[in-house]
Structure 1
Amino acid sequence: MRLSVTLLGGVAAVAICAGASPSHAAPADRVDSQVDELIVTGRAGALDRRRVEASYAITTLDEAALRLQAPMSTAEVFKAIPGFWVEASGGEASNNVRTRGIPTDGYSSVTIQEDGLTIQHDGGLGWLNADQSFRLDETIGRVEAVRGGPASIFASNSPGGTVNFITRKAGETAEGLVKATVGDYGMYRADFWYGAPLGDGWGLTLGGFYRSDEGVRSPGFTQNKGGQVRIGLSKAFETGRLDVNIKHIADNVGFLLPVPLTFDDKQEPKGVPGFDATYGTLAGPDNRLVSFRNVSGPFAFDLGKGTDVSLTAITVRLDLEVGAGWRLQNTGRYRTSDIVRNGLFPTGNIETATGRLNGLRNAALAAFPGAVDVQYRYATSGAAFDPVTANGNGLVVSGNLLSVSVPLNEFTNDLRLVRMFEFAGQTHDIAVGAYVSDYSYDYDRYMATSNLEVRDQARRLDIVAVNAAGGIAGRVTENGILRYGSLFDNAAIDARVFAVYASDEWQVTPQLRIDAGVRQERIEFSGSVEGKQTVDLGVAGTLADNQVITGTGAFTPIDRAYSGLSWTLGANYQFEDRLGVFARYTDTVRLPAPSEFQGSPGDALRTDIKKTPVQMMEAGLKWRTDVFDLYATAFQTRFENIRFNDNVFNSATNSFTTRVAYGSTMTTGIEIEGVLKPMESWDVAGAVSWQSPEYDSFRFTENVGGVPTVRDFAGNQLIRVPKVGVRLVPGVNLMDGAVRLELPVEYYSKRYADVANSQSLAAYTVINLNARWNVSDRIAVSLAGVNLTNVIGLTEGNPRAGQFISGDAGARYYLARPILGTSWRAALTYRF
């Protein structure tokens, strides 16, 4: 297994590249086998292509590598791919990934595929990240990942790359496995998979998982609960193969968000008194079930649902010889899902409880005649809260209790014809294809802003106005809510996508191959966005209902169309099987997403939203010997005309202010990764990467005290992206390869939480442990330890305090999201 950290395109990445070095039970055999490993992702053709012959950067993770790494989320799989910077601190879903200079979050420019077809046409739809729609289990037998390069020719919205999860298929004999996993955070999980031939070319597969746990950051209740089931049916016949795959996800996962932090005497991050930075969370039983007032009546908020996913997907894949040397390959998928995301979002700035009380005193006394002072009470018990000494910190923070519903129905189909031609003694492996996607979704968002104490599993606080006798004259809050309806959105959108593409792999000489590809794509979408108004619900005795944002009943239509051309040209020169070089240039585009128009009627009318051109260059060396492997890649990536949004929460008004800027980014870097393997019993893998991730332009105007002020951040370091990443992984193979032990050590240099580079995120080092013992041919035991030193490594700041200019910069107390604390998982696998 080759392990590396790379910083492609302005993004740090931890990588475990299966098959590039000794690994697991048979290290030497695995190294040799990878030379002949066939790949299917990032290309289309009639001929098989070996990984070592690729003219682009591709990583493969086989079954053994996945089991050793033991990822518990899609994002953790991405950590095993060079060139990806992954923020997996958000839990099992709704994380962020970036690669090769992508300056945007989520999966907006990286495509997740399943069996070669995207699981969601646009993985960056607002509040519908692609990783919410995918779960990793034992039904996945292999992963192939392409960074940059030709990814955008064969998949939409993928200038950063494509990660293809390939399902297991039934073999010639019946086989299966069951796996039981336990974790020290109340985690219990069961996986199973079974595959068998049915006769006459038919095959059956069945698998899935179920798990339950409170999470490393426990809210005091089960926040991850549910699972997935998948059934597959295949038919092999003389001229081709048919595969039908049906999966259903019914799962709830908690969404982990920033926590309160401060600094120690060395300016390193640490938890505030009363809060554990690596295990704590503001979410807790007090905020699990909360009833909000709304125009249409009470709104029942359930934090225990987290990201609530109900999804069914049916995939049909046909590979068929159609005559005259042509082969037809078609993959279609229908997916229907109902996804609701409920979360507690700490927002604004951390304040002293006394300061917040003083700031609200005058308004409260004016609103409630007879009131002489304001005081805190716990919302659920009515007990007094001491603003000076409570929790050992005397701090409070606002918490947005947000619910977003995004049901989606989607049909996607990719049809291609491939054939190999011989011309003038040279081989041309060509493909022509057509891709369509038709989807519709709704977007409903409602939120109430609560008043929270600062402690693990925080409780809501009421602020009451009292009279001279100490009686309650009125309430600034109600049930711990500062403002009902502090956010509202309602939109319905339909989209239609059509693309055509073609590619040619031209074998000029036995050593030289030139690859070219082109894609023309068009998206049309229509729909409507409801207008907004602010109303007073008229509830006597409280200020919490005075400014409820709700719909007007009037809808603004959306009707847009965009198109773009992408092309790529690459070359690979293979000196010999284990030594080669490649180079590639790609000119592509990211078309606007429908979700850019769903936030408000004003957004629906925007005329300045345009497509984002992307240019990528890369050149690489591939050198493998019996003693070492060396992979070196130089790259440059440029994104132009990117629209950046900054939604800053104002704690005084309990509302968001939106800022918009346009800019371009340029990232230049080099990655050097490799492994030293002098003998089968031990090896050392690692990588050092350097890059210069910068905003080539970033300029906007903001209102400062009534004066328009121009901000120009050109030349600043990309937000949340480190310049240097290092990963060293010593590994040993014991008992004739039956036992494999690895101790990955990762280092990330300083980053910034905002474009202004005013709030730094400190450098950190994290140590993990992976171990696996193949007790017999049927039984295996594995152990995974995460963050063994319990380091506080910050992956992001507090986006709601400002991503252009952080409102937390220089603050004694601030919000940020660290990696999870030390945790352990053990698994027992039985094959049959």
Structure 2
Amino acid sequence: MKKLLNSHYLRTGVAPLALLITGQAQAQTAPVDAPTPATSAAQRAAPDAGIVDPDAQAGEDIIVVGTSGGGTRRQDAAFAVTTLSNDAIERAAPNSTADLLRTVPGVMAESSGGQNGANIFVRGYPSGGDAQFVTFQLGGVPIFPPSTLSFLENSQLIRLDETVQRVEAVRGGTGSLFSNGQPGLTVNVVPRIGGDTFKGFAKLSYTDYDEARGDAWVSGPLGGNTSFMVGGYYAQGNGIRDPRYRAEKGGQVTANIHHDFDDNRGSVEAYVRYLNDHGQWLLPIPIVQNGSKISEYAGFDAGTGTLAGPETRVTTNVVGRTLDLAQGRGAKVINTGFTFDYEIANGLRVRERLSYLGGNADTVGLVPADAPTAASALAVALGGANSTITSLTYANGGGAIATGAATPLMRAGIWEVRKKISSFVSDSALEWTAGSNKLTGGFYYANYTTRDNWALGNQILLTATPNARVVNMTLNGGRAATLRGFTNGPTFLVNAAYDGNDYALYGVDELQITPELRLDGGVRWQRHEVTGLIRTPAAAAVNLDGNAATLYDNAVAVIGDAKQLDYGDSKWSWTAGANYDFTRTVGVFARYSRGNSFPAFDNLREGLTIVAKVDTYEGGIKVSLPWLNLYATGFHNTFDGLATTQIINNVPSTQTGGAKATGVELEGTLKPFRGFSLNASGTYLDATYQDFFSNNGLIDNTGNRVQRQPKWGWRVTPAYELPIGSLRPALFATLQYTGDRFSDPENNQLLPHFYQLDAGVSVDVFDHVRLQVTGNNLTNEIGLTEGNPRIIGSQGTGPILARPILGRSFRFSAAVNF
């Protein structure tokens, strides 16, 4: 998302694009905590703080994320952090909130699922999907404290728009001490605040796949040291994978009021954000694979094709439930909060951060079950040995299918997951500074609830074509294999109400031993409690009509008796780190940390009570010069106690165990002459399972590579800006490489390496207008991010199910500020 350069920066020259594109020249910067008074004052004086002055001294910026809240100089931070300015976000042109994290070393973000339903993996932490070790925050407070529930991860609850000033991401480090104690990745979204003058911004954008979007914000003073900001976006379209109906629709509004106390003693801020947005949940499609060679399935465009279409949009299943796929996956939530920071006495500060979120996060999706298969083979799968087809017709008119038993068909489930969620978070801290020592103590409390209603299964018979048609099948002996195309009813049901409470005490001591040497250490005690009332399927499925010849309803799951859930456990986390600066621009750091991840609602529903434990050793070198920024971080972590469930053949299957990983993260920016920058980042990761079992403990995956995370990945971003009179054109491009991975822990489903090329051009006209076009996946690469997660084992060669990255697309925008 983009904010135009203000007149001051346009006079002094445009910031180096590498800083604007990825912000990684600001690596080792960022905040998990609320802004300090100094930061707030700076924001009020220059709300464009996300834009970096090329003449500024490198390494002098103050960062807050990963600290106790008081902030520290970027060059002194003893942990790995990446910061992305508003312009960096715009130039990266992410397709979703999660897609932005492709720019962060050590993070593998799969955004091929659309605006929602991302999979995000961190530093070799083993995970079956979603974003189990990723927490998103708004202004330093977790948006929803559980990082992942089934069918709900944090990025689903927030959108990037022009009201975002910057995004900050800390990996490992001190994350296990602060906020909700996330040992993996903490991403903090920092909203704009107002300044001393009235300002505004508006942008219209349009894509070559017919998505229209409008963004706007205004901000200004309310008198004294008080200011306001309000803005948001609205968008609608069918999406890159066009189902031939309006699948993407919604918007977000954010507003805040900020006040700075006199004499720079602190600040207070109140905010509210309303999100109502949904989109198509993009899932695997037919692809042809022969070893490491990938090609399109006949008639199915890998970059734009989707099974969903007019015939599958509205359906009535076997149990009479009517669903509309246009509801898709998204969120309708309100998030409001309050931050307070005040120096109550010399050297003594108090901080309070409060947040409330409430609303719904629902999923209605078309979930493929098997690759294209001849109708005759599916007849045997549905009716048993010796079954043959006597009738094969289109369910919605059109008569018999001419190719009969040889017709390639597929089954896909129409899944419905309803979630009503809420959360309340309070993080209180007291900080005392005496000389070179700063001591912080805090108390964290979170209450979060969800009311779940699921109906999985509900498979429908489809043609293996884009915008698939629904098919009815009758077998020999007069047996009906389908009803309105459905081959079965629900196979897994959940009706549950969960209530979670987290209590944590933390203490951190930071000591500047010498001007060059800084030490820090801290501990956190956390208590995790969950209660709930859960109903899942009864032990035996039922035949709804008692007629064995109607195959579609012979084994329908029905809800069972309620079970009470009552869980509680406590754990300690700790960390110690050191930073040594040889000069103000060259330094090194080292850190050890122990973190924990408590079982979430879905794990506890399946009886998995293991607490995940992570030990991380990391160290790095930092160089911050006017013409060069370079950050290198090496890490080794051991992970024990993963416990998760995966939906296999429409029922949950457990995965438990551990892993170890060793890796190196590199990021840097070279600015050899004014106007040109070359940004690069890369990750090497050697991550393998240790005593890790899948398929309910039946398969030992020890020694296998951790799924979905490549050994090698890198990005290179050259950019050039050259003012020409009143015009300021800029060219930028990013080439990204993603190495070979495996989609499954058994290492049977290979995801071959691929390259992705993105590029764009923008032109600033005078001080107030910017025109821009960006292109994603310009070479239309078929890059797979997921195989078939609904099965165990290889899919073989030939037609398979897999989820490719989105195809080539272009976005055109015109923006004006005032």
Same fold (TM over 0.5): yes
Q: Are 2:393 and 1:384 equivalent residues in the alignment?
A: no
Shift of 1:591: 1.1
Q: 1:625 to 1:244 in 2, by over 3 A?
A: closer
Shift of 1:205: 1.3
Q: Are 2:305 and 1:280 equivalent residues in the alignment?
A: yes
What whole-Å deviation, never above 9, does each CA across 1:172-206 have from its counterpart, x for those lacking one?
11111001111111110001111111113332211
Match of 2:602 in 1: 595
Given candidates 106, 127, 130, the residue that maps to 2:151 is: 127
What whole-Å deviation, never above 9, does each CA across 1:679-710 have from its counterpart, x for those lacking one?
113232223432211112224687xxxxxx96
Q: 1:323 to 1:270 in 2, by over 3 A?
A: same
The whole-number CA distance in structure 1 between the counterparts of 2:492 and 2:311 is 22
One-letter identity of the residue aligned with 2:465: R
Match of 1:789 in 2: 779
The whole-number CA distance in structure 1 between the counterparts of 2:622 and 2:611 is 35
Shift of 1:45: 4.3
Per the alignment, in what secondary structure is the counterpart of residue 195 of structure 1? Answer: strand
Q: Are 2:180 and 1:156 equivalent residues in the alignment?
A: yes
Shift of 1:61: 1.2
Shift of 1:28: 8.8
Task: Name the stretch that deviates more: 323-332 or 352-361.
Answer: 352-361
The whole-number CA distance in structure 1 between the counterparts of 2:26 and 2:530 is 43
The whole-number CA distance in structure 1 between the counterparts of 2:380 and 2:55 is 67
Structure-to-structure mapping, 1:282-361, within 5 angstroms:
282-294=307-319, 298-360=320-382
Match of 2:118 in 1: 95
The whole-number CA distance in structure 1 between the counterparts of 2:118 and 2:614 is 23
Structure-to-structure mapping, 1:209-224, within 5 angstroms:
209-224=233-248
Given candidates 427, 438, 444, the residue that maps to 1:435 is: 444
Match of 1:706 in 2: none
One-letter identity of the residue aligned with 2:75: V
Structure-to-structure mapping, 1:253-652, within 5 angstroms:
253-263=279-289, 267-294=292-319, 298-360=320-382, 373-381=389-397, 383-387=399-403, 394-422=407-435, 427-447=436-456, 448-465=458-475, 473-533=478-538, 534-538=541-545, 542-552=550-560, 554-598=561-605, 603=606, 606=607, 609-649=609-649
- 8 Å Cα contact 1:25-1:740 kept in structure 2: no
One-letter identity of the residue aligned with 1:767: L
Match of 2:78 in 1: 55
What whole-Å deviation, never above 9, does each CA across 1:613-641 have from its counterpart, x for those lacking one?
10111110112334433222111111112
- 8 Å Cα contact 2:86-2:166 kept in structure 1: yes
TM-score, normalised via structure 2 length: 0.90
Task: Name the stretch that deviates more: 822-831 or 312-321.
Answer: 312-321
The whole-number CA distance in structure 2 between the counterparts of 1:817 and 1:286 is 22
The whole-number CA distance in structure 2 between the counterparts of 1:375 and 1:463 is 6
Q: 1:505 to 1:522 in 2, by over 3 A?
A: same
Q: Which has the higher strand share?
A: 1
Shift of 1:142: 1.2
TM-score, normalised via structure 1 length: 0.89
Shift of 1:581: 0.5
One-letter identity of the residue aligned with 2:532: G
The whole-number CA distance in structure 2 between the counterparts of 1:218 and 1:168 is 34
Per the alignment, in what secondary structure is the counterpart of residue 618 of structure 2? Answer: strand
Q: 1:359 to 1:531 in 2, by over 3 A?
A: closer
Shift of 1:660: 2.7
Given candidates 788, 793, 799, the residue that maps to 1:813 is: 799
Match of 1:748 in 2: 738
Aligned pairs, how many?
Answer: 774
- 8 Å Cα contact 1:111-1:155 kept in structure 2: no
What whole-Å deviation, never above 9, does each CA across 1:138-186 have from its counterpart, x for those lacking one?
1111111111100111122511121110111110111110011111111
The whole-number CA distance in structure 2 between the counterparts of 1:581 and 1:752 is 35
Shift of 1:378: 1.1
The whole-number CA distance in structure 2 between the counterparts of 1:248 and 1:106 is 23
Task: Name the stretch that deviates more: 113-122 or 541-550.
Answer: 541-550
What whole-Å deviation, never above 9, does each CA across 1:494-536 have from its counterpart, x for those lacking one?
1111111111111000000001121111111111111423222
Per the alignment, in what secondary structure is the counterpart of residue 91 of structure 2? Answer: helix
Per the alignment, in what secondary structure is the counterpart of residue 132 of structure 1? Answer: helix
The whole-number CA distance in structure 2 between the counterparts of 1:590 and 1:337 is 25
Shift of 1:360: 4.0
One-letter identity of the residue aligned with 2:744: D
Structure-to-structure mapping, 1:607-756, within 5 angstroms:
609-649=609-649, 655-656=650-651, 658-699=652-693, 711-735=699-723, 738-756=728-746
One-letter identity of the residue aligned with 2:657: G
One-letter identity of the residue aligned with 2:474: V
What whole-Å deviation, never above 9, does each CA across 1:737-764 have from its counterpart, x for those lacking one?
9222112111122111222222211111
What whole-Å deviation, never above 9, does each CA across 1:369-408 have from its counterpart, x for those lacking one?
xxx8532111111521245698xxx322210100100101
- 8 Å Cα contact 1:243-1:317 kept in structure 2: yes
One-letter identity of the residue aligned with 2:297: V
Match of 1:368 in 2: none
Return 5+ residue gaps in structure 1 as ranges: 5-13, 366-371, 468-472, 650-654, 703-708
Return 5+ residue gaps in structure 2 as ranges: 1-15, 29-47
One-letter identity of the residue aligned with 1:574: D
